[in-house]
Structure 1
Amino acid sequence: MRTKAQTAMQLTAMLTSALLALTIVSGTPSDAAAGETDAKALVKAMSDYMANQKSVSFAYDTSLEVVTKEHQKLLLASSGTMNMARPDKIRATRFGGFANVEITFDGKTLTLFSKDSNLYAQFEVPGSIDNLIEELRTKHHLPVPGADLLQSNVYDELMRDVVEVKDLGSGVIGGTECDHLAFRAKEVDWQIWIAQGEHPHPCRYVITSTQVDQGPQYSVQISDWKSGTEPNAQDFSFKAPTDAKKVDDPKQLIDIDELPANFVVGDTK
């Protein structure tokens, strides 16, 4: 049997949850407009800060949700590193349960190296990091982890098709106090946590696929953020390991995507 104290505590918790939900979804029009303006200003400040960094390096952890036909959610996790020198150099690694991959771009040549199979593919992609990301997405269907956060104008990329904005206050990611913002676009919901202070870099980025059954999420959490160090050109050149074999088609590389080959993509809503 519940005591009066237990009943009171449960009612208090329910009221607190209801008030929190009400606070998030309601408010006066002027408050909502001010919150939207402030949230967009925080993203713009992050975008400007990122664009002004000649070199950036960080570690990251990703989580990719997969939903089965029985509506069971499975989480695929991986970790990696990213080194970038604007305007045209990248070295990225990703290590997970299904893949161990390195991506190298020196401004002219892109190299995809599958460490487990000791196979690599190379092709010419002259131009900037922006151009590289676009080619990987559209031509090769190989997105770079957190690519939206690497482009020269992060603000325009993130705010495209946004229809709703929420400022959720502060949050702490990896010991860093952040501004927590939520956005709704036409096909996805996304959240971002931006470090407060003089270095407003992204600490966590979460995308929810609202057009896919059960709304699976993809998240990137960033740590060990560094910027401003002078990059070494050799850091972005690829040296093939002993016995590594070059292939002509990236499709010959085994399990370089975050979603393993044995997972079948189902229908959207």
Structure 2
Amino acid sequence: MSASAWAQAADQPEADDSLIDQDAFDALDHMAQYLQTLTSFEVKSDVTTEVVLEGGQKVQFGGALDLKVHRPDAFKIVAASDTRTREMYYDGKLFTIYAPVLGYYADFAAPPTIGLTLDKARTEYDIEIPLADLFTWGTDQTIRARIKEALVIRPEHIGNRTCMHYAFRQEKVDWQLWLEESDKPLPCKIIITSRVDPAMPQYTAVLHWDTAMNIPASTLAFTPPATAKRITIAEAAGQKGDDQ
């Protein structure tokens, strides 16, 4: 399941205001405003993905994400697990996806900003960028319209951080968000639950931030290894289910 699954565009009925806690929406706005002030940051995340087997049993797979971002025009994302590893790069001109174990990479000409590039990757090439909403909170106003229920749960601890727990519901997904209770309202943890599958598999990410890091855009560009082979982006999309 994609970490940005809740942000897929869809026409849905209007929310019942009685199911919306305005404090939960205000927290999202506060988080979005802060995230948009960050021009350079790194996020490391421990990730758990659930997969439903044919018999209905759920199994979990662990992994890790490392995101380095220079706004508005560069990022590098490494998504690594025991089943496969993918690296994604954006340098203001090209988006590149690279499978280091297989030794293949593919790219497409990209728009001049991160947000537009994420949209092109998803809509034209069916490529979901892990935790893409970290880049677009506050700029995609349709996210708010798709939320049907919003709750404030309680403050909880994620490691040594005190984070407020929120729960949201959309037409096809439920998602939970923990926001750090400080002058830096950063996401501490995200859980996305699919409501399309009766088994309701989940995607969980625990996030660790470094907002003081200065990351030059030039350090995030992709340089293909000498042994790497370039293929077309259509071939890359066709390999999404392959191991490694």
Instruction: State the TM-score, normalizing by the size of structure 2.
Output: 0.85
Give the distance between the partners of 2:140 and 2:24, measured in 1 at CA: 11
2:82 to 94, 97, 107: 97
- Contact persistence 1:145–1:220 (CA under 8 A): no
Deviation digits for residues 61-97 of structure 1 (CA, Å, limit 9, x no counterpart): 2222111232100112211200111112111101111
Q: Which residue of 2 aligns with 1:173?
A: 158
Counting aligned pairs with the same residue, the percent is: 26
Taking a change above 3 Å as real, the CA distance of residues 250 and 226 of structure 1, as seen in their structure-2 partners, is: farther
Give the distance between the partners of 1:136 and 1:235, measured in 2 at CA: 22
1:248 has 2:232 as partner = yes
Taking a change above 3 Å as real, the CA distance of residues 245 and 53 of structure 1, as seen in their structure-2 partners, is: same
Q: CA deviation at 1:250?
A: 4.8
Q: CA deviation at 1:222?
A: 0.7
1:37 to 22, 25, 48: 22
Bigger mean CA offset, 168-177 vs 41-50 = 168-177
Counterpart secondary structure, 1:153: coil
Counterpart secondary structure, 1:231: coil
Q: CA deviation at 1:248?
A: 2.3
Counterpart secondary structure, 2:119: helix
How many matched pairs? 227
- Contact persistence 2:90–2:220 (CA under 8 A): yes
| Amino acid paired to 2:227 | D
Counterpart secondary structure, 2:116: helix
Taking a change above 3 Å as real, the CA distance of residues 82 and 250 of structure 1, as seen in their structure-2 partners, is: farther
Consecutive unaligned residues of structure 2, counting only runs of 5 or more, are: 1-17
Higher relative contact order (CA 8 A, sep 6+): 2
Instruction: State the TM-score, normalizing by the size of structure 1.
Output: 0.78
Alignment of 1:1-269 (within 5 A): 36-151=21-136, 153=138, 156=141, 158-223=143-208, 225-252=209-236, 257=240, 260-261=241-242
> 4+ residue runs of structure 1 moved beyond 2 angstroms?
154-160, 228-231, 248-255
Taking a change above 3 Å as real, the CA distance of residues 155 and 197 of structure 1, as seen in their structure-2 partners, is: farther
Counterpart secondary structure, 2:184: coil
Taking a change above 3 Å as real, the CA distance of residues 91 and 116 of structure 1, as seen in their structure-2 partners, is: same
Q: CA deviation at 1:45?
A: 0.6
Deviation digits for residues 172-204 of structure 1 (CA, Å, limit 9, x no counterpart): 113211010001112211100001101111111
| Amino acid paired to 1:85 | H
Q: CA deviation at 1:110?
A: 0.9
Q: Give RMSD over aligned pairs.
A: 2.2
Give the distance between the partners of 2:236 and 2:196, measured in 1 at CA: 31
- Contact persistence 1:43–1:155 (CA under 8 A): no
Give the distance between the partners of 2:173 and 2:189, measured in 1 at CA: 16
Q: Which has the higher helix share?
A: 1
Q: CA deviation at 1:46?
A: 0.5
Give the distance between the partners of 1:154 and 1:58, measured in 2 at CA: 20
Q: CA deviation at 1:156?
A: 3.1
Counterpart secondary structure, 1:235: helix
Q: CA deviation at 1:135?
A: 1.5
> Which structure: larger Rg?
1
Taking a change above 3 Å as real, the CA distance of residues 70 and 154 of structure 1, as seen in their structure-2 partners, is: farther
